[in-house]
């Protein structure tokens, strides 16, 4: 019994549990906000719409889970790109631009380099997206490291440059006039299924989710288990103190944004290296929403790589309810409202953590009382 009490105490005293409880509170409040909007729009269908959001992914079995995994992959990757920069004290709001440029290079290779055999075509296209995403983050990285220009300003401007540049490059090099979008990629350049299509009968399923999880694990190991990760976090916590301790702060800032940009570039490749005209690069004057969704994922995951993976799966889960939600008479913007509300409530994480401590203390007190009662009964017997 004593060992059980010690184990329970360790669990409830951990910061991870407090953060998890705070995240759950943010999710519940986000769902409540969505329900309130649905009640205002159509009270008679509101609870049906909420049911669709909560249970659609489960109710459709393997197909539903397949769609969740498909939609979660880019969300996890963009979330990891934002979370990695967060962990090192930087706010990379330029993930959208890095993703768009990475996507263009990946698709260009997928369309034009048809001489590459088999899966090598996908590998080269994905590497092209990764390198381009990193290079697109290079300018704000240099400005931040050597001129202390705030990364938010620099990366936002790069988003707009990427939007116009990708449009012009697509139109000049890989334009399909019939679809007003980029050309279809070669079949060898597609993201491999990695046998997931044998498990989940969703037609668009591919191995993107596996790549996303692998990146999450790699980022976790870098940040938690390596000297390099420790130095990155040290610079993020206090740049001057880190420099005083002998850490090259400029170099670490450069690495942080370059790695973040590389992950965003991979996300662009995963999104667009798939069959179907719906996933081609469209010529629109709109910044990719994936980068901003990545902020939501990173905040919901408390910038922890593993937490970010689960947060991406959750948002992918509610995204997969889109079609069923529309059958209840609601537009998909309800999902965006829920996601935005979660971001808003995630900003109160510290407040929720304080409340979670009260909840934990009440649970611990209840366990203590029951333990004492049990011991008293044992002694009486």
Residue 355 and residue 353: Cα distance in Å, rounded?
5
Give dist(CA 180, CA 270) in Å, integer.
Answer: 21
pLDDT beyond 90 at 11 = no
Q: In sequence order, which residues have a C-beta less than 8 Å from that of residue 265 and are 6 or more positions away?
A: 98, 99, 101, 102, 103, 105, 106, 129, 130, 131, 132, 133, 134, 136
Asked whether the predicted pLDDT for residue 155 surpasses 80, the reply is yes
Q: How many CB atoms lie within 10 A of CB 157?
A: 15
Q: So what's the pLDDT on residue 206?
A: 92
Provide, rounded to the nearest whole percent, the portion of the chain with pLDDT above 70.
Answer: 86
Report the pLDDT value the prediction gives residue 22, as an integer from 0 to 100: 74
362-372 residue pLDDT tens: 666 776 777 76
What is the percent of the chain where pLDDT is above 90?
48
- Please compute Rg for the chain using Cα positions: 23
pLDDT mean across residues, the chain: 86
Say whether pLDDT at 46 is over 50: yes
Give the confidence band of 279 by pLDDT, cuts at 50, 70, 90: confident
User: What is the C-alpha separation between 256 and 85, in angstroms, rounded?
Assistant: 6
The highest-level CATH class for domain 64-331 is mainly alpha
What burial class does residue 201 get, using C-beta atoms within 10 Å of its C-beta: 0-12 exposed, 13-18 middle, 19+ buried?
middle
Residue 377 has pLDDT above 80, yes or no: no
Q: Which long-range contacts (CB under 8 A, 24 or more apart) does 221-225 make?
A: 223/84, 223/87, 223/305
Stretch 175-189: mean pLDDT: 90
The Cα–Cα gap between 1 and 6 comes to: 9
Q: How far apart are CA 118 and CA 177, in angstroms?
A: 28
Segment 172-183 mean pLDDT: 89
Asked if 96 and 287 touch (Cβ cutoff 8 Å), the reply is yes
Range of lowest pLDDT (26-30, 144-148, 287-291, 294-298): 26-30
Query: For the residues 227-255, what does the mean pLDDT come to?
Result: 90
Q: What is the mean pLDDT of residues 230-246?
A: 88
- Kindly report the CA angle at 264 between 261 and 269, in degrees rounded to 5? 130
Distance CA 38, CA 49 (A): 8
- pLDDT value at position 72? 94
Strand partners, 176: 181
Residue 376's contacts (CB-CB under 8 Å, 6 or more residues apart) are none
């Amino acid at each position: 019994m004593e060992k059980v009490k010690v184990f329970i105490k360790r669990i409830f005293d951990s910061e991870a549990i407090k953060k998890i409880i705070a995240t759950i509170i943010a999710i519940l409040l986000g769902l409540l906000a969505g329900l309130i909007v649905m009640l205002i729009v159509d009270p008679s269908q509101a609870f049906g719409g909420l049911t669709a959001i909560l249970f659609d992914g489960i109710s459709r079995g393997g197909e539903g889970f397949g769609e969740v995994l498909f939609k979660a992959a880019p969300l996890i990757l963009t979330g990891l790109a934002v979370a990695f920069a967060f962990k090192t004290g930087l706010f990379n709001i330029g993930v959208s631009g890095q993703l768009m440029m990475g996507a263009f290079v990946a698709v260009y290779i997928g369309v034009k380099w048809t001489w590459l055999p088999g899966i090598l075509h996908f590998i080269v296209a994905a590497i092209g997206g990764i390198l381009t995403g990193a290079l697109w983050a290079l300018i704000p990285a240099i400005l931040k490291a050597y001129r202390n220009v705030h990364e938010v300003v620099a990366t936002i401007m790069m988003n707009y440059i990427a939007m116009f540049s990708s449009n012009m490059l697509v139109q000049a090099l890989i334009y399909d006039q019939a679809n007003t979008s980029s050309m279809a990629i070669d079949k060898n350049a597609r993201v491999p299924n990695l046998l997931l299509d044998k498990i989940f009968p969703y037609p668009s399923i591919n191995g993107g989710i596996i790549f996303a999880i692998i990146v999450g694990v790699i980022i976790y190991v870098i940040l938690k288990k390596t000297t390099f990760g420790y130095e990155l976090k040290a610079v993020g916590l206090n740049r001057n103190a880190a420099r005083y301790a002998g850490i090259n702060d400029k170099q670490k800032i450069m690495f942080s944004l370059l790695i973040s940009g590389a992950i965003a570039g991979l996300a662009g490749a995963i999104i667009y290296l798939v069959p179907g005209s719906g996933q081609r690069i469209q010529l629109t004057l709109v910044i990719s929403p994936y980068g901003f969704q990545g902020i939501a994922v990173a905040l919901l995951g408390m910038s922890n790589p593993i937490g970010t993976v689960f947060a991406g799966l959750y948002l992918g889960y509610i995204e997969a309810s889109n079609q069923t939600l529309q059958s209840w008479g609601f537009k998909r913007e309800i999902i965006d409202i829920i996601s935005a509300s979660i971001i808003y409530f995630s900003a109160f994480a510290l407040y929720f953590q304080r409340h979670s401590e009260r909840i934990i203390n009440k649970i611990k007190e209840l366990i203590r009382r029951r333990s004492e009662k049990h011991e008293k009964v044992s002694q009486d017997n």
